[in-house]
Structures are given as structure tokens and as C-alpha cells.
Amino acid sequence: MKICTKCSVKKDATCFFLKASSPDGIAPWCKDCVKKSKKIYRENNKEKIAAYSRQWAKKNPEKINAIREKYKSKAIDSSSGKLTLFGQRQRAVKTSNKRTRMRKIRNEAGPEYAAQIIGLPLSKIPNEIISMKSEQLLTFRLARKIRRSLDESSKNT
């Protein structure tokens, strides 16, 4: 048991930091008082601390890089499973959104979409060619659906 010289409360030795230069090997202030004191100092000297941190970072770029690499590798190790799962979900969402967007373009802008596929302005393409291209696109879509259903049925059997 020791009495804190800051708050004058008797506390267990585990409530104090160790200090080798002290006769009993324990710091005079308890951990709570030290934390409060440091918090007040940080709040009152933000600019001074920030300036010192910038100056230290300029003098020690290799240490900064080592710290960043260590943090990065630790973050990757701890979250690699999460990132993989997130990436899979994101790919699925993006694919779904793209399909929905393309379906909307095809359905709402039939002739414009056909002209876009042909690669010419709509005004320069005869209506017969536009209708033929639209039919061709519908045929390709139906063929794709049939192929998918055949593939799924072959996987199930």
C-alpha cells in the first residue's frame, strides 16, 4: 500500500507505475493521477505536441515507414478474411447493379441501344436495320438464357 502524493489516497502498489529511480521502485503519483495530468497537458499544448511530432517525423522517415508497414501488415493479417468476404460481396453487388442498369438501358432505349451497339448515330441508320439488330439482340439473350438453364440442369444431375 502506498499513498499518492497528488491525490493523497492510499492505494495498492499495482495502482502505481514502476519507477527505478524511486527508493521503493514505485512512482509517487497513482496511475489515475498520471493519466489525468497527461490528458490536461495534451489539451493545453496541442500545437506544441503537433509541432514536435511533425519535427520528429521529418527526422525519422525510416521509423515512420517501419511503423506504417508493421501496422499495415497487422491490419491485413487481422482482417484478411473480412476483406475477402467484403470483396466478394462488393463484386456481387456491382455485377447485380450493372446487370440492372444494362437491362434498363436495353428495355427503355431499344432503338438507341441498337444504334449504340452498331456504333453509328440513330439518325443515320435505317429503321429496318435497327429492328433487325433489336431482334438479333433478343435472339442472343434468349440463347444465353437457354445455355444457362442447360448448364444449371447439367450441374444438378
Both 49 and 94 in one domain: the answer is yes
Both 32 and 57 in one domain: the answer is no
Higher pLDDT, 136 or 47: 47
Q: What is the pLDDT of residue 52?
A: 96
Both 90 and 57 in one domain: the answer is yes
Higher pLDDT, 119 or 49: 49
Both 37 and 49 in one domain: the answer is no
CA distances from 55 to 43, 125, 141 (A): 19, 67, 63
Structural domain containing residue 70: 45-108
Provide mean pLDDT across the span 96-122. Answer: 77
Q: Structurally, how many domains does the chain consist of?
A: 3
Residue at which a domain ends, from 71, 90, 108:
108
Both 52 and 88 in one domain: the answer is yes
Higher pLDDT, 47 or 134: 47
- Using 50, 70 and 90 to split pLDDT, how confident is the model at 153? confident
Q: What are the tens digits of pLDDT across the range 40-60?
A: 999 999 999 999 999 999 999
